[in-house]
Amino acid sequence: MKRILFTLTFCGLTLIAKSQTSSVEQSTYGIQTGFLGIWAHNETKLSNSIALRSEIGFDSGIWGGDFYDGTRFLLTPVITLEPRLYYNLNKRVKKSRRIDGNSGNFISIKTSYHPDWFVISNTDNVSVISDLSIIPTWGIRRNIGKHFTYETGIGIGYRYTFAKQAGVLKNESETTANLHLRIGYRF
């Protein structure tokens, strides 16, 4: 009887340990860079499949043409909060694929704010108009080795621009897109 009880207990603990591995991480930190910026982020576990991503960094812009002598660029701060639902973690675990560092497919609501604090640019007297965007996004994140990751996402959403601060008669809203491809390092 003791042997049967021990065997059942061991099997039960194995199942519990297996089910706990198909969950987002409690907290993960990292930095990422892409074609138009650099960002530092944290993802905090809200449930087994939902994490809240908070991010601060710099989005960049490039412009030029016939009216400018040379190409111009700028970096402006951005603050982002993004709840993410990682929907395929169990499937990845069953196929013996990695889920560490929240490696998986996700859907999210990316909410970003560009404040008018400062601008880093190769030209003088450049400013940005503050805006707030809310973009439903689908994406994936995968690991490259132990610490490196890559991530891509796509979405279409809404942007509200606080144009009155720049002297325009009324604030403006428009449809906007999120298309990103990033490489990162996870601490």
Instruction: Report the half-sphere exposure of 52 (CA within 13 A, side-chain side).
Output: 5
Q: Which residues contact 44 (CB under 8 A, 6 or more apart)?
A: 26, 27, 51, 52, 54
For the stretch 55-103, pLDDT in tens is 999 999 998 877 777 888 999 999 999 999 999 999 999 999 999 999 9
Position 15 pLDDT exceeds 80? no
% of the chain beyond a pLDDT of 70: 89
Rounded distance between C-alpha atoms, residue 69 and residue 119, angstroms: 20
Q: Which residues contact 4 (CB under 8 A, 6 or more apart)?
A: none
Q: Which residues contact 73 (CB under 8 A, 6 or more apart)?
A: 60, 61, 62, 63, 121, 122
Instruction: Report the half-sphere exposure of 156 (CA within 13 A, side-chain side).
Output: 2
Instruction: Report the half-sphere exposure of 97 (CA within 13 A, side-chain side).
Output: 15
CATH of the domain at 57: 2.40.160
* pLDDT at residue number 167: 83
Q: Into how many domains does the chain fold?
A: 1
* pLDDT at residue number 3: 55
Domain range for 84? 2-186
Q: Which residues contact 147 (CB under 8 A, 6 or more apart)?
A: 185, 186, 187
The number of residues in the chain equals: 187
Model-level pTM? 0.83
